[in-house]
Amino acid sequence: MLVVVQAISAAVGAVCRTGLEDLVRAHYGRRWAVIVLAAILAVNVLTLAADLEGGAAALNLLTGIRPEWFILPFALAVAALLVYGSHQWIERVLQYVVLIFLAYIVAAFMARPDWSKVVHDTFAPHLSLGKDYVAGALALLGTTLTSYAYVWETIEVAQERPPIRRLGLVQVDAALGMIGAGVSFWFILIATGATLGVHHKVVQTAQDAAAALAPLAGPHAAMLFGIGLLASALIAVPVLAGTSAYVIAEMFGWRRSLDAKFARARGFYVSLLLSLAVSTGIAYAWNDPIQILFYSGIAGGLGTPITLVFMMLIAHNREVMHKHAIGGALAAGGWIVTAIVIAACAVYLFQVATGGGG
């Protein structure tokens, strides 16, 4: 699902040379653009608050200092990175941060799971319509297929402006990135399932989650988990804040670029700083990193169908994409993914409304 969505969004960015919000405003009108903007910002701000708290919780694990002392400094550090760093430099830094997730691959093997069962359940999972299962599935979709991920992909590819003759390579690059992310996530699930899961331990704090790495690090599990959690926050927070600024600037037709000086893209950078400020306030008001991370995933799942439908409409529109409009298996895959996300949202909302699905 991730591969399909990112390949489509990469094609949109490469062909149209602009972001999704700008395309919706130009081809479907300001009213729909406002709805898409609201859907993206609502999810981004909550997810940004969750990741600021996650980063603070990580620093708490590494230093022992209370996490609330780190939320504002972390937000200010990211703001400085985005305002003073170039787009290319930020991208290069984030690529190296991703390597930290290799620790979870090692942890999965050290946890000694039943690999035959892991492989079987990966390809033939037990499915349920239980309320907790559906909520967890929607949170998973909202964390991975969330709008900021593929909206950022359109923005990033549009900024790079690759030659159209390289469109296939751009899509392959996006797909390979998602395969890498999926494999890493698979090992994280195995590491947590083979440690916390087999003992039916509910994760309520960052310290609980750190226990997943105990087979590898022993008493140093908290430190290793803290490094991984900090890496996750360092990747997510700049992308979330940057995406928010880009979609706001696209909506109002402002200059937008992380390579531009503050004075030449004032509206863009003010939007970026404002999104960080609002998210910082939410992080201080909602002092529960695990809970806010989970509910931000739910919000991401509920907000995804709106932007996903518009991305599919644009990618399939020959007036917009010309001869590069998607079709065949890629288009079918995109609509199937969209239908799955919409169905997950519908089941979740029905269960919330009726109190069913125990």
Give the 3-state secondary structure of 205-256.
Answer: CHHHHHHHHHHHHHHHHHHHHHHHHHHHHHHHHHHHHHHHHHHHHHHHCCCC
Q: In this structure, are residues 284 and 127 in contact, taking their beta carbons and an 8 Å threshold?
A: no
Q: Which residue has the tokens 């169905």?
A: 343
**Encoded tokens for 16:** 């149209």
Low-confidence ranges of the chain (pLDDT < 70): 86-87, 90-91, 94-95, 206-207, 210-222, 356-358
**pLDDT by residue (tens digit) across 84-124?**
876 677 667 766 777 777 777 887 888 788 899 999 999 99
Compute the distance between CA of residue 301 and CA of residue 349 in angstroms, rounded to an integer. 11
pLDDT score of 221:
66
Alpha carbon of residue 95 to chain centroid: 15
Find all residues with CB under 8 Å of 129, minimum gap 6, and list them.
347, 357
Find all residues with CB under 8 Å of 105, minimum gap 6, and list them.
184, 187
Compute the distance between CA of residue 335 and CA of residue 337 in angstroms, rounded to an integer. 5
**Encoded tokens for 163:** 């030659």
For 331, counting Cβ atoms within 10 Å of its Cβ (0-12 exposed, 13-18 middle, 19+ buried), the class is middle
**Encoded tokens for 4:** 């399909």
AA letter at 301: G
pLDDT score of 313:
93
Q: In a 3-state reduction of DSSP, which class is residue 137?
A: helix
In angstroms and rounded to an integer, the radius of gyration of the C-alpha atoms of the chain is: 20
Nearest to 262 by CA among 245, 284, 278, 279: 245
AA letter at 13: G
Compute the distance between CA of residue 2 and CA of residue 10 in angstroms, rounded to an integer. 12
Q: In this structure, are residues 304 and 146 in contact, taking their beta carbons and an 8 Å threshold?
A: yes
pLDDT score of 340:
92
End-to-end CA distance of the chain: 27
AA letter at 171: Q
**Encoded tokens for 45:** 């701000």
Nearest to 143 by CA among 181, 90, 109: 181
